[in-house]
Amino acid sequence: MELSGEYVGPDGEQERLWVFCDGSGDADSLQNLLSGVTQMKELVSDFFGPLAQPEAQGRVARAEALDVLGIEPRGALPLSPRDCRHGRRAWPKLA
């Protein structure tokens, strides 16, 4: 049994992720599949981690710059009750 995934980037370049789920018998097939899913999850995290990190850092930098300037992003909700307590953002009122 195997698990595979394919990613096509914005430039059209294809990347294939593949995991072989080794099995010795029917009794272990579910455990082998679960192990394969765990391995695939790690591969996907490793693959997309570097791609997502700069985007997340950019969002944090923009949010910090707006906060320093005292500008409230349009449609922004508070990140946590702590943010609301410190006056950074107001929670929306529920009807």
Task: Report the C-alpha gap between 78 and 92 in whole angstroms.
Answer: 9
The answer as to whether 79 is a domain residue is yes
Count of structural domains within the chain? 1
Domain-located, residue 95: no
Question: Is residue 92 in some structural domain?
Answer: no
Asked whether residue 11 carries a pLDDT value surpassing 80, the answer given is yes
Prediction pTM value? 0.47
* 49 in a structural domain: yes
C-alpha 5/C-alpha 45 separation (Å) is 13
Q: What is the model's pLDDT at position 6?
A: 87
Residues 17/5, Cβ–Cβ less than 8 Å: yes
Note down the domain range covering 71: 2-85
Indicate the residue type of 92: P
Q: Within a domain: residue 90?
A: no
Nearest-5° Cα angle at 33, 2 to 38: 95
Grade residue 85 by pLDDT with cuts at 50, 70 and 90. Answer: very low
Each residue's pLDDT tens digit, 46-59? 887 776 666 666 66
pLDDT per position as a tens digit, 33-84: 888 888 888 888 888 777 666 666 666 677 777 676 666 665 555 555 544 4
Is residue 57 in a domain?
yes
**Does the residue 51 lie in any domain?**
yes
Amino acid at 47: F
